[in-house]
Structure 1
């Protein structure tokens, strides 16, 4: 970066010097009899038609008759070789006018139109001699840096047979239909060279022009430039049009009819060759010839010397001092010393300092980010009197015997089995590095949520570890793993009785109800799903994983969220659609309803055996079964009480997954219905679907991807834990 700045300063100094000795060659335009003071005319989109151009209806004293335009149907037209072209724009700065063939439609999306007129450089009698008198337009423009072509050709070829494996033939079949003879139309974009029109069964239909799109030229070689384009790209270039030059008019005004003329791009003004030819300095710059002043010779010599000395310092090629105008030998010697020793040393030092500063800033930024995360956690822990024990990282390693027994792994980190010195088994969750700018928020959220609470159906936090970037949470060990292990479509899964499933659903409901109403603060979990329901040795359900939980005052019926959070398939629709209702504790009720449906069915909410594709989603299928009072098929030996409990669980689940939050019951009401008689519970309205595909499209990041061997691929996307901005 510093090296580039030094080069930039160096070039700026040289340009300034060149401008100094250019000032004494100011260009003056000759005054002639042509009227340049007429007010501008307009037609359609072209609102500034002025000298040398004129409209047909303008006064005869205005403009140059050779540059006459017409206004037809509110469009400005120019006649070239007896053909009329649309005028797209006039550039009075570089003396060019942009034209479009009238056969080309202006819409870039419609590529079916083809040019109407045949146009090549041969239509311009003085195309290679811009200042030739009498010719109003040219296809080339002489400039101080060389000759610039303004357009190149587009050739439409009609071929009897398809052209295959030719890189320059663009197929038009997607835009242009076959002609009546059944031929094939191809287009070539580039210079009109017979060597590239090599297919014997093809003949030229029409040739038109597009703006010049590249250089492959030198003073000694002719133009022969081709590039592979699709026809849609070529058609867009046709819509953009091509340019021709009208530099001959100002050149005539300035130089008359006997002098060559070129365009100076630094000032965008024409210059006559006999008003001071340009020469090339040893630095490669084009400057006016003549006897330079001593100051100019010294400055230019110094600049050349600096460049030569700098290149010598790095072993690069040296400019040829024998070519160009004279410079001061003293200036060259001084400049060589400055460039070889002062400038090179300065740039090297700046470069080294820049590298050191860059890495220092990078390390500082990294430390600041991680320090702020650790301080955030430490400030939280110091401001809270927590009952859990704080362990060191060394103690965590001893408890897990060096992390030998891994229980599982997810987006949050890894879980290991351990044993306390007092004897009880524990599960230790080692949190991974925070994603984005979370600043350890998942750790703070989980510790703050369950650090002070204790309930039979909520997992107990025994302790935690915060040591540098190491963060761990220590829980009671659950020997029967999580509930998702028992909700499966496989035959070899560990089965539970319907009575156990019923008791588990009651336990989960009581745990969530306690979170909503049993604490000093209302705790919304936002991620109720089978993976987060743990089972102890007696299969008592424990609500776990509070990484996405939020705390609110108990009196708050409506909460504020800046991002949707949870697992797709269990998330309440109001987390995505604001018009459904406000976010509240009813979001957990919805998630519990989806979970309860799976517990009662003992498998995922997907009915792969349904006859009607609209009934594949299990809640809709079970609703129809209940409405039509058909007996629901159950696995194994079941009692009448099991049948009543399963039916009751399905009805309660349908109440919980109602689309609008106000139609769902509270968790206290859910417990009351689960413990009550089935006859006292009415069947709710059919749950309204909402487009899960729409939700999936708007998930931009995920914090956990859960794999489940028991779930089919059809619903694998439904279990992605997310936290994204609300729609």
Structure 2
């Protein structure tokens, strides 16, 4: 999506929102259930009534359902199948007038029962009673009973009379009559064809009296009602103004969200294009590129997890039954793809016994993964323990072999590739061991590449792991950043391997403890042994040699540290040919000379390589 398309989308969204706002604004504060009627002349239908099939259920009160007939009459359905047509509804008096569509209410009055209805007869205070209907043959005296005659039920052959309980039966010629049925109780004066019903619940008279409408409260479970609509124009203006301002704020928020989405999308697109361009240039190195489906198949859908770090999670996988691999799924929510380019770019140039073998990679859309050889013994961190721990301690000969292998791997990165590779994250977790405990350097996510004839790199931010980061990476007062930063990290790793403890611990309970590397230096300076358990006569010499090399590597100023080529020579040489380095914990102490180290030179002579 380009910038023009984005802004077209924003403008369209804004126009749509304003159309919605102005469409809704005239109805602000009014009920969302419109008034309706059956036909052109029927009564107006609104809450508490609703027309079935036209109004949703929340527009009416339970028991107040009406229907429209084919003739557009309004039909009121009462219990026991009594159907009446609505003549008029008075919402202020809460009264509904109804009549029988055949003008003979008495046909249905015997079935009428309001006990299950919200309505009751108008004039409920009048004493109600039922009627008894009689079918009588014409007689000479039938004119005496015309007041009780029900014409709509009568015919020339017989007449039907409604007799009250108060009628004197002896005045009736029972020999000429037969009982039809008894009716339900109705008010005494209700003998005409129209019937008036009233309701008391819901009570909406107070709303109607104020010119407002009544409706059910939102989210009410007890059928509570409320008045809606505004009495004064000023209130309506305030509501409309509030809606417009609120809508405008919503539009601004939507624009902000869309812009952030757009920027995020553009950054991801740019990062993806950068990675794809890098991979296109990288084809000459013949790497194996896997799809994300291949990665899922190799890892058996990420079935076995080996570990997790800041930039991704590592899973165990199988290229075939014989070839095991470790697959690192990168976390795309962190960084901008730089760690992916760093690792692929660096690993494609490396072929060394002490560097983990790079098998391939995945760059499928925004999904990225790195595939390495699988090393069964995990990292060096698993084997760092106190020499007093006979169970897990590898022995001084093996520790020296591991230290030498790591040094050779770093020396290869600095001098053996076409371009110098600075790792910037040398630590026990990033050195893996194969079946024979041969060390292999891994995790090049923070690595930087530079020309071999230039030594210093510029950095915009510190990188690495606390406890292994060289001082100059934090502060240029110690010098400029160069490959000597890896030398410092290796020295800290080496000292940690000797004593089986962390080189940094800044917790409160340990602030009074002596810094471990400084403790080692004090022992060496006083020509004491390292107070470690040994089983062989050569063990103290190995431990002392490793300690001296480690202390040389952690000198504060980069120019006082040896190169990794010199470090390899020191590890392969004899211990008695090494001298104790200057005290790295006393910045004011003079620098001592050592035949094993190159002469000091000024850091200003080195050209800065810009990122």
State the TM-score, normalizing by the size of structure 2.
0.54
| Superposed counterparts of 1:321-470, under 5 Å | 357=255, 360-384=258-282, 385-421=284-320, 423-435=322-334, 438-470=335-367
Secondary structure of the residue aligned to 1:474 is: strand
Secondary structure of the residue aligned to 1:640 is: coil
Deviation at 1:550, TM superposition (A): 0.5
Which residue number in structure 2 is paired with residue 586 of structure 1? Answer: 484
* Equivalent residues of 2:349, 2:417 under 8 A apart: no
Which residue number in structure 1 is paired with residue 444 of structure 2? Answer: 546
CA distance in 2, matches of 1:689, 1:668: 26
CA distance in 1, matches of 2:426, 2:365: 31
| Superposed counterparts of 1:24-63, under 5 Å | none
Secondary structure of the residue aligned to 1:567 is: coil
Structure 1 pair 317–478 and aligned structure 2 pair: CA distance change class (3 A): farther
Structure 1 pair 450–317 and aligned structure 2 pair: CA distance change class (3 A): farther
Deviation at 1:353, TM superposition (A): 6.5
CA distance in 1, matches of 2:547, 2:249: 72
Deviations 1:254-290 (A, max 9, x none): xxxxxxxxxxxxxxxxxxxxxxxxxxxxxxxxxxxxx
Which residue number in structure 2 is paired with residue 311 of structure 1? Answer: none
* Equivalent residues of 2:14, 2:251 under 8 A apart: no
Secondary structure of the residue aligned to 2:472 is: helix
* Equivalent residues of 1:506, 1:671 under 8 A apart: yes
CA distance in 2, matches of 1:320, 1:585: 76
| Superposed counterparts of 1:497-516, under 5 Å | 497-516=395-414
Match of 1:648 among 527, 535, 545: 545
CA distance in 2, matches of 1:353, 1:631: 75
Matched, 1:560 2:474: no
Unaligned stretches of 5+ in structure 1?
A: 7-313, 322-335, 691-727
CA distance in 1, matches of 2:272, 2:14: 36
CA distance in 2, matches of 1:562, 1:346: 48
Match of 1:676 among 570, 573, 578: 573
Q: Tell me which moved more, 402-411 or 481-490.
A: 481-490
Match of 1:639 among 536, 545, 548: 536
Which residue number in structure 1 is paired with residue 232 of structure 2? Answer: 318
| Superposed counterparts of 1:1-400, under 5 Å | 315=229, 318=232, 357=255, 360-384=258-282, 385-400=284-299
Deviation at 1:2, TM superposition (A): 8.9
* Equivalent residues of 2:385, 2:497 under 8 A apart: no
Q: Looking at both structures, which has the greater relative contact order when contacts are Cα pairs under 8 Å and sequence separation is at least 6?
A: 2
CA distance in 1, matches of 2:319, 2:325: 7
Q: Tell me which moved more, 482-491 or 415-424.
A: 482-491
Which residue number in structure 2 is paired with residue 163 of structure 1? Answer: none
CA distance in 2, matches of 1:597, 1:476: 28
Higher Cα radius of gyration: 2
Deviation at 1:319, TM superposition (A): 5.2
* Equivalent residues of 2:488, 2:553 under 8 A apart: yes
Secondary structure of the residue aligned to 2:417 is: coil
Deviations 1:401-450 (A, max 9, x none): 11111011111111101111262110001111242xx3211111111111
Structure 1 pair 666–317 and aligned structure 2 pair: CA distance change class (3 A): farther
Deviation at 1:548, TM superposition (A): 0.7
Structure 1 pair 632–351 and aligned structure 2 pair: CA distance change class (3 A): closer
Secondary structure of the residue aligned to 2:478 is: coil
Deviations 1:371-409 (A, max 9, x none): 222112111101222332100111111111111110111
CA distance in 2, matches of 1:320, 1:377: 61
Deviations 1:625-683 (A, max 9, x none): 11222122223x52222221111010011111111111111100011111111111111
Which residue number in structure 2 is paired with residue 621 of structure 1? Answer: 519
CA distance in 1, matches of 2:488, 2:407: 12
Secondary structure of the residue aligned to 2:289 is: strand
Deviation at 1:533, TM superposition (A): 0.6
Deviations 1:697-724 (A, max 9, x none): xxxxxxxxxxxxxxxxxxxxxxxxxxxx
CA distance in 1, matches of 2:329, 2:391: 28
* Equivalent residues of 1:457, 1:507 under 8 A apart: yes
Structure 1 pair 493–360 and aligned structure 2 pair: CA distance change class (3 A): farther
Matched residues, number: 360
Which residue number in structure 2 is paired with residue 523 of structure 1? Answer: 421
Unaligned stretches of 5+ in structure 2?
A: 1-12, 19-227, 588-611
Deviation at 1:621, TM superposition (A): 1.0
